Structure 1
Amino acid sequence: MELSGTILAGEEYEPVEGRVVVEEGEITAIEEAETASSDIVCPAFVNAHTHIGDSIAKEAGRGLSLEELVAPPDGLKHRLLREASREEKVEAMRRSLEFMTQSGTTAFLEFREGGVDGVHALLDAAAHIDIDPVVFGREEIDVLDIADGYGASGADDADFTSERNEARRREKPFAIHAGEVDEHDINPALDLDPDFVVHMVHAQQLHLERVEDDDIPVAVCPRSNLVTDVGLPPVEALLERTTVALGTDNVFLNSPSMFREMEFAAKLFDVSAPEVLRMATKAGADIAGLNCGVVEPGREARLLVLDGDSDNLTGARDPVRAVVRRAGVDDVKRVIQP
């Protein structure tokens, strides 16, 4: 397979006119050459934090606080999840996953409620869709029998030492929400030596230093944080210290569109377009242990082809800024999944 056009190549996403050569699902070469194609070829997205189960209640909960929306066990999302049938939840998740693939996402890191049954339901929803779930189960230690890792709600909710130890014993990753509402649960979360943390909205200097010293990646979800009125993560400060990846968080609050998340981050924070694209691709891939997120030889060919001659993108002088700040699902021409 050969894909021609403007290639956003390497870890700096440098625009290169030419071709990407793919063999057996792997990028084998990038060849500079003149081409008549106006396509833009870039890495497909890796969504670093989702709650896809919330697809049953899109736009529910107007006016509620974060605790009223999502706090276990009686937050709105948990009540709605309990009330919905398994079939309803699986179908709702399937529809969200279909949209994610259409909008260029080929892998996602899911914090999945419902224990073992919840993980099975998500896997059923994704079974016939060209997308790879990296599932962090919750609520039961036994969820590690089937999940890729354990995703804890937060250090204020429970003592997750046993879950952390069991994940380590099984050589599976452990992740935890931290610093979403305030700073009080950040140190206890970091004490668990997580493989990554989510949110860090209220990170202070000490927390930033700990993240840097321990090389702990962070998944940030700025649109979700804005909707729930908890503040915004210190993205610039985090980027100076560790790997920072973008996630779209709860589906009932936000569309799981990485285009929207990138545009929001690029226009809100003092970060460059290549940095934001890296947050939406390579950073999430690195956290998930996937060999993608960069267009270079030796990487999996998880690629996104955009129509650079669409009404929205034609005339763009900077293709990286155009992908990050302007592009959308209507500009997607093809999604390549090995």
Structure 2
Amino acid sequence: MILEGTVLRGRDFEPVEGRVVVEDGTIVDVEEASVESTDIVLPAFVNAHTHIGDSIAKEAGAGLSLDDLVAPPDGLKHRLLRQASAEEKIAAMRRSLQYMQAGGQAAFIEFREGGVDGVDAIHRALDGLDIEGVVLGREESEAMHAADGFGASGARDSEFGELREATREAGKTFGIHAGERDSDDITPALDLDPDFLVHMVYPEPSHLERVESEEIPIVVCPRSNLVTNVGVPPLRDLLDRTTVALGTDNVMLNSPSMFREMEFANKLTDATAREVLQMATVNGADIAGLNAGLVEPGRDAKLLVLDGDSDNLTGVRDPVRAVVRRAGHADVKQVVY
């Protein structure tokens, strides 16, 4: 397979005119050459934090607080999940996954409610799709063993020490929410030595020092944080200290679009367009343990091709800014998995 156009090459997304050569699902060469194509070729996105089960209740709970919306065990989300049948939840999740795949997402990291049954449900929803799910079970150790790891709700909700140790012994990933509504649960979350943290809206200087010294990645979800009225994560402070990735969080609250999340993060904060694109691709891939997220030889060919001559993108002078601030689902020409 050969893809031609403006290629956003390497970790810095250097725009080069040329072609990407793919063999057996792997990028084997990025050639600089004069080509006629106006396409933009870039890595497919990795959505680093999702709750896909919420697909049964989009835009439910207007005006409710964060706890009333999503706190276990009786937040609105959890009540609605209990009321829905397994088939209803699977069908709704599949529709969201199809939307994500069509929008250039190669993979996602899912915090999966419902124990073992919840893990089985999302695997059924993924059947036959090309998007890859890194599924973290919740609520019980059996769910962790059935999944790719464990996704903890937060250190204020329960004691996760034994589950953290069991996840480590199983050689799997452990992620945990922290600092979403205040700073109180950040230290106990850090004490668990997680593989990554989610949200970190309220880190204190001591937390930032630990994140940097212990090299703990962070996933931020700025649209979700504003919807739930908890604030905006301090992206500059986080980016200066560790690997930061981007996620869309609850489908109940936000469309699972990485285009929207990137635009929001770039226009709302002082993170540069290049940093935001790294957050949406290679940084998420690194957290997920995937050999993707970059256009360079040796990486898996999980690629996104945008129509550079679309009504929206024609005339673009800076392709990186265009991808982050302007592009959308309508500009997607091809997704290569």
Corresponding position of 2:238: 238
Structure 2 partner of 1:278: 278
**Partner Cα distance (1:35, 1:273) in 2:** 26
Q: 1:135 matched to which residue of 2?
A: 135
1:18 paired residue number: 18
Q: Which residue of 2 aligns with 1:110?
A: 110
What is the aligned partner in structure 1 of residue 54 from structure 2? 54
Q: How far has the Cα of 1:322 moved from its partner?
A: 0.3
TM-score (norm 2): 1.00
Deviations 1:191-224 (A, max 9, x none): 0000000000011111100100100000000000
Could you say which residue in structure 2 is the equivalent of 1:75? Answer: 75
Q: How many Å separate the matches in 1 of 2:43 and 2:271?
A: 19
Partner Cα distance (1:145, 1:160) in 2: 15
Partners of 2:74 and 2:170 in 1: CA distance: 31
Hey, what does 1:263 align to over in structure 2? 263
| SS, match of residue 111 in structure 1 | strand
Q: Is 1:326 aligned to residue 292 of structure 2? A: no
Matches within 5 A, 1:199-210: 199-210=199-210
Deviation at 1:273, TM superposition (A): 1.1
Q: Mapping of 1:126-205 within 5 angstroms? A: 126-205=126-205
C-alpha RMSD of the superposition: 0.4
Residues 1:3 and 2:19 aligned together: no
Using the alignment, how far apart are the partners of 1:112 and 1:198 within structure 2? 14
Deviation at 1:14, TM superposition (A): 0.4
Deviation at 1:128, TM superposition (A): 1.1
Separation in structure 2 between the aligned mates of residue 144 and residue 222 of structure 1, nearest angstrom: 27
- Is residue 90 of structure 1 aligned with residue 84 of structure 2? no
Q: Deviations over 1:39-88 (max 9, x none)?
A: 00000000000000000000000000000000111100000000000000
Gaps of 5+ in 2: none
Partner amino acid for 1:83? Q
Q: Deviation per CA, 1:15-50, whole angstroms, max 9, x where unpaired?
A: 000000000000000010001100000000000000
Alpha-carbon distance in structure 1 between the residues aligned to 2:245 and 2:82? 30
User: Which of structure 1's runs of 4+ aligned residues deviate more than 4 A?
Assistant: none
1:144 positional shift: 2.1
Q: Which range moved further: 136-145 or 283-292?
A: 136-145
Structure 1, 31-40 or 265-274: larger mean CA deviation: 265-274
Identity %: 69
Deviation at residue 145 of structure 1 after TM alignment: 2.1
| TM-superposition CA deviations, 1:97-118 (whole Å, max 9, x none) | 0000010001000000000000
Q: Secondary structure at the match of 1:300?
A: coil
- For residues 256-279 of structure 1, the C-alpha deviation after alignment (integer angstroms, 9 at most, x for no partner) is 000000000010111211111000
2:234 matches 1:254: no
